[in-house]
């Protein structure tokens, strides 16, 4: 159960903008085990997104090694990395990134289209199952513009689940949502984590980070503190105490 899923050694990422070089990451060491629920925190511009994009194989580091599930990603070619994203990773974005004018079901099916081994019957079945897991079975034929922000994010989470990934990555998944909906998303993540999924997500909200099992704090492109969450919150319990009509959410 405690096998290592992510191992990062002295990772650096530089961006060159004209004459200026931005050192977004300046030597990061990180290890994440299977079954962990990690929150990456830090001020804006501290390198959280850069880190997550590299973890998600959307971007390549300037220097350093990244071992995902024992495979060194840096040595792989583009197509192999695409296959890795398709079969081992699930990505959730702050802005949901659903295809417009495409039903929830079709959006969730999308990753499986890029997997030649999945037959069309199994594809639909898997998509329905993923939508069921996020509690949106009754909305499967709705278009994104017919869904609330929270529901859209659930569809996006279903999409990240559909390929049965070893790792789910989420960049500020609750950033566009109100408090109650944020807690609902966290409830969903906690459920998934209990079922054994490894989840890494970025947030800058302290109370959201307390739903995770471990917090990793970034500052100026480096990890400056790592800690296990001592008093972990349970989203389901908290939701029970919140008033249904959440009026206080004008933040």
Partner 1 sequence: MNYSNLFRIAIRALIRNKLRAFLTMLGIIIGVASVIAMLAIGEGSKQKIRGQISSMGTNMVMVMPNFQRRGGVSLGSSSSMALKYTDVVALRSEATDISSVSPEVRASGQVIYSNQNTQTTIYGVSEEYLSIKKLEIISGRFFNANELKNMSKVCVLGQTVVENLFGVKADPVGLSIRIKNLPFLIIGTLKDKGESGMGQDEDDLILAPYTTVQRRLAAIDYINGIYASALSEEKSPAAIAEVTEILRRTHKLKESAENDFRVMSQSELLKTVSSITDVMTYLLGAIAGISLLVGGIGIMNIMFVSVTERTREIGLRMSIGGRGKDILKQFLAESIILSILGGMIGVIFGYLLARLAGSLMSTVAIVKTQSVFLAFIVCFIIGVFFGWYPARKAANLNPIDALRYE
Ligand X SMILES: Nc1ncnc2c1ncn2[C@@H]1O[C@H](COP(=O)(O)OP(=O)(O)O)[C@@H](O)[C@H]1O
Q: Which is nearer to Mg ion, 49 or 87 (CB)?
A: 49
**45 binds ligand X, rule: CB under 6 A:** yes
Per-residue binding letters, 154-193, with ligand X (x by CB under 6 A): ----------------------------------------
For residue 13, give the 3-state DSSP assignment.
Answer: strand
42 binds, among Mg ion, ligand X, partner 1, none (CB under 5 to 8 A by kind): ligand X
Residue 57 CB, shortest distance to partner 1, in Å, is: 8
Indicate the pairing of strand 63-68 with strand 214-219: unpaired
Exactly one of 24, 126, 192, 223 binds ligand X (CB under 6 A); that residue is 24
SS percent in the chain: helix, strand, coil, step 5: 35, 25, 35
- From CA 135, how far away is CA 148, in angstroms rounded? 14
Residue 46 CB, shortest distance to ligand X, in Å, is: 4
Please tell me the total number of residues recorded for the chain in this structure.
251
172: alpha, beta or left? (left if phi > 0; alpha if psi -120 to 50): left
By the criterion CB under 8 A, which residues form the site for partner 1? 53, 56, 58-59, 78-79, 82-83, 85-87, 91, 93, 97, 99-102, 106, 110-111, 113-116, 120, 159, 163
222 binds, among Mg ion, ligand X, partner 1, none (CB under 5 to 8 A by kind): none
Contact of 154 with 176, CB cutoff 8 Å: no
For residue 176, the tally of other CB atoms under 10 A from its CB is 16
Residue 235 CB, shortest distance to partner 1, in Å, is: 26
- From CA 132, how far away is CA 58, in angstroms rounded? 28
Residue 173 CB, shortest distance to Mg ion, in Å, is: 12
Residues that bind ligand X (CB under 6 A): 15, 17, 22, 24, 42, 44-50
């Amino acid at each position: 159960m405690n096998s290592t899923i992510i191992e990062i050694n002295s990772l650096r990422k530089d961006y060159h903008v004209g004459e200026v070089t931005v050192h977004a990451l300046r030597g990061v060491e990180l290890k994440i085990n299977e079954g962990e629920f990690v929150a990456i925190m830090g001020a804006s511009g501290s390198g959280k997104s850069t880190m997550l994009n590299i973890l998600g194989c959307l971007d390549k580091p300037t220097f350093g090694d990244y071992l995902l599930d024992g495979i060194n990603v840096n040595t792989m070619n583009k197509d192999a990395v695409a296959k890795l994203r398709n079969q081992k990773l699930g990505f959730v974005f702050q802005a949901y990134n659903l295809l417009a004018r495409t039903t929830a079901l079709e959006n969730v099916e999308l990753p499986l289209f890029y997997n030649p081994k999945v037959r069309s019957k199994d594809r639909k079945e898997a998509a329905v199952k993923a939508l069921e897991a996020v509690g949106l079975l009754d909305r499967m034929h709705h278009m994104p513009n017919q869904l609330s922000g929270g529901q859209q994010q659930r569809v996006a989470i279903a999409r990240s689940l559909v390929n049965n990934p070893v790792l789910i990555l989420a960049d500020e998944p609750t950033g566009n949502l109100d408090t109650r909906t944020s807690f609902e998303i966290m409830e969903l993540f906690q459920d998934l984590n209990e079922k054994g999924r490894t989840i890494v997500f970025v947030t800058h909200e302290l109370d959201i980070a307390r739903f995770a099992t471990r917090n990793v704090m970034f500052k100026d492109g480096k990890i400056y503190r790592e800690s296990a969450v001592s008093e972990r919150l349970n989203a389901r319990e908290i939701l029970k105490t919140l008033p249904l009509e959440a009026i206080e959410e004008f933040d």
